[in-house]
Amino acid sequence: MARLTTPLTAKEIQSAKPREKEYKLFDGGGLFLAVTPKGGKWWRLKYRFKNKEQRLALGVYPDLSLQEARKLREIYKAQVAEGINPNDKKRAEKEAESIAETKNLNTFEKIARERLAIAQNEISESHFNRTMNALVNDCFPVIGAMPIDEVEAKDILVILHRMVDRNIKESARKLFYAISKTFKWAVANGKAKRNPANDILLEEVIGKKSTRHFPTITDDKGIRGLLLAIDSYTGEYTTKRALQMLAYVFVRPYNIRHAEWSEVDFLNKKWNIAAEKMKTKEDLIVPLTDTVITILEDIKRFTGDGRYIFHSPRGKTSPMSENTLLGAIRRLGYTKEEFVPHAFRAMFSTVAHEKSSFKSEVIETQLAHSVGNAVSQAYNRAKYLDERVEMMQWWSDYLDNLQK
């Protein structure tokens, strides 16, 4: 007859003292407490599986109480009865946890940032910033949190199609190369199994590479994408407002950067730019719509006590630097082949000539281009002013409606 084991008590476990050698206190059903020479108390379960004795570590007392250890004993005994080896099951669960943990560590964003940090010393600062901004703005929101081995070609295509819809194909091309380089680096360093970008025919997605001498955007979808991108700009607030105003008044970037509060006539809704600031060396009146007035009234809270409307972030006594607007466009993800601050002028000119009923002379005059013969070009700061007021309102409404 099998010898019965007297179940353990909490008091017995607590009073168990370490000895020169490890010893065991049995609770029955294969459950026992191993007391080590250093005083550790470890719960173990002895069981037979396929006629072989096996042992399973359950936990440490008192973190795992007597009652909890007994519950685990019943759970594992039930598994044995069902033909499941608790040791094998526990080992498989640990392996699954390890794989999941590895996946969480090897997200695409983590790998991309790691690769770019290593490459930072080998590329220019502008290249680094442009690539990082493209990844942050267009790539990471789609695949950044995904384990790198779970990213597929179709996921990369989502990124490319979204950028094509915004008509920034050259930016899409460069971001595609950055994504592909990330995968190649990850494969070479044992962090990924393959490069899904190899499955994509880039030309079929964004077309062949083309170079335009004067880059601009003239389709409704592209203009809307640019305006919304500017609206979500997270850099200097004055820079964001300068870009927004530039879209509505399409003067040369120099004139925006050097715009002064003394030049703005809020009452008559005009911006009077002196001849010495103009490339044509002639004064220019820029009619201001309500949208532009709102921009100016907003920015006045920040720069109204200075000379310049859009002063340098470094100080109120200096105008915004030449590279500030260009740098902001780059941060929005547009390359020099796609858009530059000066391109707002070409944007307006193209759309106005194609979609408005205004005469070419009116359009070109507001652009401060020479119009007519030498006699008709004689200085007249109010030339076509009534038509230009109407045209500026048409352009403002056009941009406002696109954003709605």
Q: CA 88 to CA 347: how far, in whole Å?
A: 68
pLDDT score of 101 more than 70: no
Encode pLDDT of 164-194 as tens digits.
998 888 899 999 999 999 999 999 999 999 9
CATH 3.30.160.390 domain position(s) in the chain = 10-100
Position 103 scores a pLDDT of: 52
Position 210 scores a pLDDT of: 60
Q: What is the mean pLDDT of residues 272-297?
A: 92
pLDDT score of 77 more than 80: yes
Q: What is the mean pLDDT of residues 86-104?
A: 70
**CA angle (145 as vertex; 141, 149 as ends), nearest 5:** 120
Position 1 scores a pLDDT of: 42
pTM of the full structure: 0.53
Which of the pair, 91 or 309, is modelled with greater confidence?
309
| Multiple choice CATH, 108-206, 1.10.150.130, 3.90.800.10, 3.40.50.920, 3.40.50.1100 | 1.10.150.130
The pLDDT confidence band at residue 404, using thresholds 50, 70 and 90, is confident
CATH 1.10.150.130 domain position(s) in the chain = 108-206
| Multiple choice CATH, 10-100, 3.10.110.10, 3.30.70.20, 3.40.50.300, 3.30.160.390 | 3.30.160.390
Encode pLDDT of 20-55 as tens digits.
999 999 998 899 999 999 999 999 999 988 888 899
Q: What is the mean pLDDT of residues 270-287?
A: 90
SS (H, E, C) the chain: CCCCCCCCCHHHHHHCCCCCCCEEEEEECCEEEEECCCCCEEEEEEEEECCEEEEEEEEECCCCCHHHHHHHHHHHHHHHHCCCCHHHHHHHHHHHHHHHHHHHHCEHHHHHHHHHHHHHHHCCHHHHHHHHHHHHHHHHHHHHCCEHHHCCHHHHHHHHHHHHHCCCHHHHHHHHHHHHHHHHHHHHCCCCCCCHHHHCCHHHHHCCCCCCCCCCCCCHHHHHHHHHHHHCCCCCHHHHHHHHHHHHHCCCHHHHHCCEHHHEECCCCEEEECHHHCCCCCCEEEECCHHHHHHHHHHHHHHCCCCECCEECCEEEEECCHHHHHHHHHHCCCCCCCCCCCHHHHHHHHHHHHHCCCCHHHHHHHCCCCCCCCCCCCCCCCCCHHHHHHHHHHHHHHHHHHHC
Encode pLDDT of 122-171 as tens digits.
776 767 888 999 999 999 999 999 999 999 999 999 999 999 998 888 89
Which of the pair, 123 or 88, is modelled with greater confidence?
88
Encode pLDDT of 195-233 as tens digits.
999 999 998 998 876 655 558 999 999 999 999 999 999
Encode pLDDT of 304-321 as tens digits.
999 999 998 778 888 998
- Is the N-terminal amide bond of 141 cis, ω within 30° of 0? no
User: What are the CA-CA distances from residue 166 to residues 136, 170, 219, 349 (Å)?
Assistant: 16, 11, 10, 20
Encode pLDDT of 238-252 as tens digits.
999 999 999 999 999
Position 247 scores a pLDDT of: 97
Position 139 scores a pLDDT of: 95
**CA angle (292 as vertex; 289, 298 as ends), nearest 5:** 140
CATH 1.10.443.10 domain position(s) in the chain = 220-403
Position 272 scores a pLDDT of: 96
Position 376 scores a pLDDT of: 42
Note whether 322 and 315 are within 8 A (CB): no
Position 381 scores a pLDDT of: 64
Which of the pair, 303 or 126, is modelled with greater confidence?
303
Encode pLDDT of 374-394 as tens digits.
434 444 667 899 999 999 999
Position 119 scores a pLDDT of: 87
Encode pLDDT of 358-367 as tens digits.
999 999 999 9
CATH architecture of 220-403: Orthogonal Bundle (1.10)
